[in-house]
Amino acid sequence: MTALLEAQEVTKIFGGGLLHKRRTVALENFSLAIDNHPPSITAIVGESGSGKTTAARLLLGLTRPTRGTVRYAGKDIWSMPAREWRTFRRDVQVIFQDPYEVYNPFYKVDHVLETPVAKYQLAPTRAAGRALIEETLAKVGLRPEETLGRFPHQLSGGQRQRVMVARALLLKPRLIIADEPVSMVDASLRATILDSLRKLTRELNVSVVYITHDLTTAYQISENIIVLYRGSVAEAGEVGLVVKQPKHPYTQLLVSSIPRPDPDHTWEMEQGASEVGRQADTSVACRFADRCPFAMAICLEKPPPLFQTDQHRAAACYLYQEAPVLATEQMDAVFVVPTA
Amino acid sequence: MSEDILQVKDLHVAYHTPRGPVRAVEGVSFTLKPGERFGLVGESGSGKSTMGLAILRLIKPPGRIESGEIILAGKKLLELTDQQMRRVRLAEVAMVAQGAMNSLNPVMLVRDQLADGLLDHGIRPSERELNRRIAELLEWVGLRPQVAGMYPHELSGGMKQRVVIAMAISLRPKVIIADEPTSALDVVVQRQIMETLRRVQADLGAAVILIGHDMGLMAQFVNRLGVMYAGKLVEVAPVRDIFHEPLHPYSQGLIASLPSLEEKAVFQGMGGLPPSLLNKPRGCPFHPRCPFVMDRCKTDVPAPRAARPNRWVACHLY
C-alpha cells in the first residue's frame, strides 16, 4: 500500500559547490511515511542544527533533496505534472513558526484567508467564500467579527497563529506540517492552540507532522516521535517509550535537560555531556560519539544503524547492537497506529 | 533574617507614546535577601523586562520611572546622579540580558571586552594582574583561559553566554539580573548555563532576579517566585508553595496550562487574551479572564494581602 506522503532515503547537502566548498549534510538518509487514515501526529524533535526544519521543507516540496525521493500518493513530487503538484500543494499544508512574519502588514488578515479560497475555487460565490472563512475561524476558536477586517498588528501572536491554523484547515488538507507552531506564543495560549490542532485534525481526518524542539509538547500531542541529531535519526518510536525511557544517550541527555515545572523534581547537579564536542568526522562515526559518555571504539568507526530495541522503538546506538537491525526506510515499522 | 539587599517599593514605570501612556509597571513592590534567587514570571507585555531595566535605571525615553523607590544595599538608586548610577552598575548590580550573547562586540577580543568593565570602574591592574583576573573569571564560568584570545564568532552560543556571565560577575555584584538568559539556547546548553549561573551566584553570595516566561526554568532555579500580570505583581511566594498551591487565579491557570512529561492529560488552556497595556480593564486587570470573577473585581483594584505566611496575593478572593 502506498502511503500518502513518503520520504525515502532522503539526503540534503548544502554547499559543496564551487563557491561554498564546505559541505553541510543537513539531513541524511531520512525516511518517513505518513498516512491520514487513521489520522496521526508524528513529532520530529531536535535542537538547532538537527535537520528538523530541513525535513519539513523536504516534505513540503520547498527544498529539493540531494538524494532520495519524496512521493505524494506514490508519485515523486519533483517529477509530477503541474496538475498533480497543485493537488499536492493543496493537500499538504504548512503552519510556520513565526506568526508575525507570514503576514503582509499592508493587507488585512482577510487576505491570507481569501487568497486560498480564490486560488483553489473553494466556494462558488463571494458570499459562500466568506461563510466558509467564518466557519473555519470559529473552528479554531476565533470570533470572525473580532478577527476579519483587522490588520495583522491588531491581533495578538496567539490569534495570528490561530488564523494560520484556520488558513491551513480551509483547504481541507490531508496532512499539515507544523514547524514550531507555538514556540513564539505565550505559555497560557500554547496549550489552547495545540489542543485545537489535535482535536481538529482528528475530527477532520488530517495527519500532522509536528516539528519542534520541545519534547514536552511533543509527548502531549503526538503518537510517534523521531529524535534527530545532527542530521540523522537517533531514536524513533512510540512517544511514551522514547520520552519516558529513552534508550539513545542523546535522547537521555535531552530528556534530563528539560527544565521540569516541578520544584521537587530538579536537575541533578551533575554535569551533563560536554557542550561543544570535537568536530568528529561525521562521515565515519556516530555523530554523537564526541559527546557520548558511553562511546566505544566501534562508534568512531562507522555510523550506527537503527537497532530495534523494542516492538515500538528503534535507536541508532551500538549499545543495543544485540537487537535486530532495522533498515532506515522501514523505520515506521516501529510506529504505533493510533486507534481511530 | 538577614537585611534585605534590594527593596523595590511601589514602582511605577510608563512609556509615553502618542496613543497615551503605557503603564508597563504599576505599583510593584518586593524585596530580595542576599544570596536569594527570585523569579519574575509573566507573559510578553507583563512588564517583567521593564522591571529589570528599571532596577538598573536603564529605562530609555519615551519610558520613564514615574514614582517609587529602589533601595540597593542602603542606596536609594532613584536619587543618585547619572555618574553615581554608572558606578553602581556592574559593581553592585549587573545584568545578563536577553540575547546578550549577540551584544558582544564582534571585532574585539573576549579579553578586551572583559577588561573594559574593570577599566571603566577605575580598576587599573598591571598587565599581568589583568590577565590573571581574566583567566580566573573565564575559569569561573567554565571556559578555558585561551578563550580570552578569541573573537565572539569563534565561540558557540553557550560559550558566548558564559562570557556575558563572566562580565556580569567581574566586579562581584550583589545583585545579578538575568533576563531570559537562555532564551536562544538549546535545552542541553540551557541547563549548563543555568547551572553555571547558580554556581557563580552561590560563590559570590549574590542575589539573582531571574526574569522569564518559562515556569520550568523557574521551578529549577529560583527560591521565590513573583508572578506578573499586566504590569502588576499579582502573587509572590516560595517556589514550592506556588507550584503546589497557586493562590491567584492567573497563577492557577498558568500552572494548569503547563504540559507535563509525567502523564498525557487534557490541555488546560487559559481562556481570553492578555490585556492591552494601553487600555487596561478597570479594577483587577485579570478580571475579564478570571473564572472566579465577582462584581467588585470589575471596579476595585485588589491590594496585595498576606494570604499565607511568607506569601502574598493581590486578589479579592483572599
pLDDT at B297: 93
Cβ distance of A275 and B270 shorter than 8 Å = no
Residue A21 has a CB neighbour count (10 Å cut-off) of 8
pLDDT at A275 exceeding the cut of 90: no
Identify whether the C-beta of residue B48 lies closer than 8 Å to the C-beta of residue B57. Answer: no
Q: Terminus-to-terminus CA distance in chain A, angstroms?
A: 19
Q: Does the pLDDT at position B93 exceed 90?
A: yes
Number of domains in chain B: 1
- pLDDT digits over B42-71, tens only? 887 888 999 999 999 999 888 999 999 999
The CA angle B142-B148-B151, to the nearest 5 degrees, is: 110
Number of domains in chain A: 1
Determine the average pLDDT of the residues in A137-160: 84
Determine the pLDDT at residue A277.
43
- Does any domain span residue B265? yes
Say yes or no for a CB contact (<8 Å) between B270 and A260.
no
The strand pairing partners of B96, in sequence order, are B178
* B156 chain-A contacts, CB cut-off 8 A: 275-276
Please provide residue B288's backbone torsions phi and psi, each rounded to the nearest 5 degrees: -65, -20
Kindly tell me if the per-residue pLDDT of A187 is higher than 90: no
Q: How far apart are CA A279 and CA A277, in angstroms?
A: 6
Question: Per-residue pLDDT tens for A36-93?
Answer: 888 999 999 998 888 998 999 999 999 999 999 999 999 999 999 999 999 999 999 9
Strands of the sheet containing A306-310, edge to edge, are A92-95, A175-179, A207-212, A41-45, A224-229, A232-238, A313-315, A306-310, A325-326
Weakest-pLDDT range from A93-102, A205-214, A231-240: A93-102
> Does any domain span residue B174?
no
Q: Would you report the helix, strand and coil content of chain B in percent, each value rounded to 5?
A: 35, 25, 40
Best B185, B258, B266 member to test A by mutation, with max A CBs in 10 Å, is B258
Candidate from A48, A188, A219 with C-beta closest to B253 = A188
**A280 pLDDT higher than 90:** no
How many angstroms separate the CA of residue A46 from the nearest CA in chain B?
9
**Of A48, A89, A58, which is closest to residue A228 (Cα–Cα)?**
A48
Average pLDDT, integer, range B239-251: 94
Dihedral sign for Cα atoms in the order A47, A303, A239, A98: positive
Residue A23: pLDDT band with limits 50, 70, 90: confident
Residue B141 inside a domain? The answer is: no
Interface of A with B in 263-282 (CB under 8 A): 263-264, 266-267, 269, 271-273, 275-276
Residue of higher predicted confidence among B168 and A161: B168
A275: chain B residues, CB-CB within 8 Å? 156, 158-159, 188-189, 192
As to burial, measured by CB atoms within 10 angstroms (0-12 exposed, 13-18 middle, 19+ buried), residue B262 is exposed
Where do the H-state alpha helices sit in chain B? 48-55, 82-88, 110-120, 127-140, 157-168, 187-204, 215-221, 239-244, 249-256
Using the predicted structure, report yes or no on whether residue B232 has a pLDDT greater than 80. yes
Q: Confirm whether A104 is domain-assigned.
A: yes
Nearest Cα to A140, choosing from A69, A223, A188, A204? A204
Share of chain B above pLDDT 90, in %: 65
Please say if the pLDDT value at position A328 is more than 90: no
Assess A194–B contact: CB distance below 8 Å, yes or no.
yes
pLDDT beyond 70 at A278: no
Are the beta carbons of A263 and B274 separated by less than 8 Å? Answer: no
Residue A327 lies in a domain: no
Lowest mean pLDDT among A29-33, A197-201, B140-144, B309-313: A197-201
Q: Smallest Cβ distance to A263: which of B187, B219, B254?
A: B219
In chain B, which residue's Cα lies nearest the Cα of A276?
Answer: B156
Identify the band that residue A147 occupies on the pLDDT scale cut at 50, 70 and 90.
Answer: confident
Residue A129 has pLDDT above 80, yes or no: yes
Closest in B158, B190, B259 to A191, CB measured: B259
Range of the domain at B293: 245-318
Task: Mention every residue, 6+ apart, whose C-beta is less than 8 A from residue A159.
Answer: A142, A147, B273
Residue B226 domain flag: no
Give the pLDDT band of residue A199 (cuts 50, 70, 90).
confident
> For A259, which of B220, B239, B271 is closest by C-beta distance?
B220
Residue B89: DSSP 8-state = B
Distances in whole angstroms, Cα of residue B274 to Cα of each of B132, B252, B281: 50, 15, 11
- Alpha carbon distance A70, B283 (integer Å): 57
Comparison of pLDDT for B185 and A32, the residue scoring more: A32
Domain CATH code at residue A216: 3.40.50.300
First and final CA of chain B: distance in angstroms? 27
Structural domain includes residue B305: yes
Whole-angstrom distance, CA of residue B259 vs CA of residue B267: 7
* A141 shares contact with chain B (CB less than 8 Å): no
Q: Do A269 and B195 touch (CB under 8 A)?
A: yes
- All residues of chain A having their beta carbon less than 8 Å from the beta carbon of residue B253 are 188
pTM of the model: 0.85
- Tell me if B276 is assigned to some domain: yes
Interface test with B, best of A262, A270, A276, A336 (most B CBs within 10 A): A262
A332 pLDDT band (50/70/90 cuts)? confident
A278: in domain: no
Average pLDDT, chain B: 90
Say whether B94 sits in a helix, a strand or coil. Answer: strand
Q: Is the residue at B299 inside a domain?
A: yes
Judge whether A53 and A61 are in contact, CB under 8 Å.
no
**Which 3 state secondary structure label does DSSP give B14?**
strand
Q: What's the domain range around A124?
A: 5-222
DSSP-based three-state secondary structure for A246: coil
